[in-house]
Amino acid sequence: MFSLHQFKGQLIPAWNDLKVHYQAEVASTNDLAKDYLADDPKAPGLFVSHHQTKGRGRYGKAFYSQLRHGLYFSLALPIRSSQTYPVDQMTLMTASAIVEAFSPYLEGALAIKWVNDLFYQQRKVAGILTEGVLDSSTWAIKGLVIGVGLNLAGSFSQADPCLHALAGTFFGQTLPDSFKQEEWLAQFLNLLHNLLRGNHEPDYLTIYRSHLMGVGQVITYQDAHQTSRGILRGINDQGHLLIQKPDLSIQSLTSGQIHLGSQQFRNL
């Protein structure tokens, strides 16, 4: 269960107008959030569930959402003339807020696989899917959906066998009594707001860079349907990946340009 009363009681005033919706099982929280934004709401919305039947990640790939203790949620942010969001940076901010919100609960540090995956103890435990909603008449972005899937605790025995070598959880098989989902989610949203407004130290780029996986390592990636290799040197201030090529030049790559396979990061 998820207590809306407990959750709302821990939000900072900046989220007073947030419309919160909880269902134990849904097809996709991102789809619910996109439908919400299609009606041109004035207030942001949050859609929370413990199970998804059609959870997805980037490139339309299925995201396993039937874990015993999973938390899946999507934040719907209307974009108005008086309220804009750095669309290209929201995935980075979200990853940084997740890292900060989990730090009191974990013995080790979370690691970020650029651009939208989080690892713990060499296994993928969370994913982020940021999607824009377009105005049908102007084709401008009128809303932003930030979807997050968290593998809190449980077994992947019923999942596709290809996940067994990569997927993991934050807390093993059992969710600890000290972890309250409502408290964590409120803390995450409060952190996200403060990172967005520049009211948190360190800032999101500093957090992201300090947890970025593979820096200084040779990685393989798909670029324009070709396999390329280079040394990962970090990210620039726009969040683009910096790769050192064999000729020692530095190439800046966006998330839309390349695909990074996750398996190679297990041993970095």
Burial zone of 223 (CB within 10 Å; 0-12 exposed, 13-18 middle, 19+ buried): middle
Higher pLDDT, 164 or 172: 172
Enter the pTM of the model: 0.95
Give the sign of the dihedral formed by CA 57, CA 124, CA 46, CA 67. Answer: positive
Domain span at residue 233?
217-260
- Shared domain for 98 and 227, answered yes or no, is no
pLDDT exceeding 70 applies to what percent of the chain? 97
Say if residue 205 is in the same domain as residue 222. Answer: no
With H, G, I as helix, E, B as strand and everything else as coil, classify residue 218.
strand
Same-domain pairing of 221 and 125: no
**pLDDT at residue 30 greater than cutoff 60:** yes
In a domain, 268, yes or no: no
Q: How many domains does the chain have?
A: 2
Q: In the structure, what pLDDT confidence band is assigned to residue 26 with cuts at 50, 70 and 90?
A: very high
Of residues 11 and 257, more confidently modeled: 11
Whether residue 250 is contained in a domain is answered as yes
Confidence of residue 59 (pLDDT cuts 50, 70, 90): low
The mean predicted confidence, pLDDT, of the chain is 93
Residue 225's pLDDT band (cuts 50, 70, 90): confident
